[in-house]
């Protein structure tokens, strides 16, 4: 999702390549928003991965416990 800002035309007396202060602020604002979104997406991804690892670990422990109970019952 991209935010579109209206472009301002250069006025007489502005040197090519010199961005007006407003454009610099808009660009800085866009960069801040993009960084915040990227950081939020990375954080959600990491939390999701940790949750999946915990679920997988719990499944492994349950399978081990079932296997041990099965062996005990077979010995009886």
DSSP 52-73: HHHHHHHHHHHHHHHHHHHHHH
- Domain boundaries of the chain, sorted by first residue: 21-76
pTM: 0.52
Tell me: the pLDDT tens digits for 23-70? 999 999 999 999 999 999 999 999 999 999 989 888 888 888 888 878
- Please report the pLDDT score of residue 40 as a whole number: 97
DSSP 12: T
- Please report the pLDDT score of residue 15 as a whole number: 57
Which tops the pLDDT comparison, 73 or 50?
A: 50
Specify the DSSP element, H or E, that contains 7.
none
Which tops the pLDDT comparison, 16 or 41?
A: 41
């Amino acid at each position: 999702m991209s935010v579109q800002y209206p472009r301002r035309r250069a006025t007489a007396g502005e040197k090519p390549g010199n961005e007006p202060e407003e454009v610099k602020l808009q660009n800085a604002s866009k960069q801040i928003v993009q960084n915040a979104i990227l950081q939020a997406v990375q954080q959600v991804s990491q939390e999701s991965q940790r949750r999946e690892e915990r679920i997988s670990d719990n499944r492994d422990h349950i399978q081990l416990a079932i296997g041990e109970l099965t062996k005990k019952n077979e010995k009886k």
